[in-house]
Amino acid sequence: MRLKIEQAGEPVLRQAARPLTRQEILGDEIQRLIQDMRETMRDAPGVGLAAPQVGLSLQLAVIEDREELLKDLPPRELADKDRRPVPFHVIINPQIILTGDDEASFYEGCLSLGGFSAVVPRARAVRVEYLDEQGEPRSVNASGWYARILQHEIDHLHGTLYLDRMQTRTFTSIDNWNRYWKGKPIGEPS
């Protein structure tokens, strides 16, 4: 079932979400929620979706950067962003650990801020410890665009939107991003 994606201004997007117990994770309600969030994310389309974005203040997010989303992007952009496909997975009660001081700044959007984008500096590499959809502990070392997706979704679980991290003068509508910035390095408008 496709879920409604909450937009900026909804209080749930600004609350710290509560952790889930293993018993809750294994229950029918959360298992159904995971499937509904996966369908909603794919339909949007997006590369991640956090439970607060569908109105639930829970520390749960789904992530997937599908090959079909990358196929029309120029090779230079894929290389600059260190972007490659990421298989579907669920992160629950995640803890993020920065693995270096190196940052990258790119335009970033959000399904809860439909129609807008801004440059957001993020760590290039992170380690995330989390529970999977079976309540089992997992960890991942991520870099590039995948690290950005993880940071973005984990921010949602703490009531943070990219607006809180963006370079404010870069905030733009998607139409103007397409007109002036698409395919160009940061700092080189037409």
pLDDT band at 19, cuts 50/70/90?
very high
Give residue 36's pLDDT: 98
Does residue 100 register a pLDDT over 90?
Answer: no
Counting beta carbons within 10 angstroms of the beta carbon of residue 93, is it exposed (0 to 12), middle (13 to 18) or buried (19 or more)?
Answer: buried
Report pTM: 0.94
pLDDT band at 182, cuts 50/70/90?
confident
Identify whether the C-beta of residue 91 lies closer than 8 Å to the C-beta of residue 128.
yes
Percentage of the residues of the chain whose pLDDT score is greater than 70: 98
Please give the Cα distance from 47 to 38 (Å, whole number).
10
pLDDT digits (tens, 9 = 90+) for 32-78: 999 999 999 999 999 999 999 999 999 999 999 999 999 988 999 89
Strands 48-50 and 86-98: unpaired
* DSSP three-state, residue 43: helix
Domains of the chain: 11-180 (3.90.45.10)
Tell me which residues are annotated as active site. Answer: 153
Give residue 190's pLDDT: 43
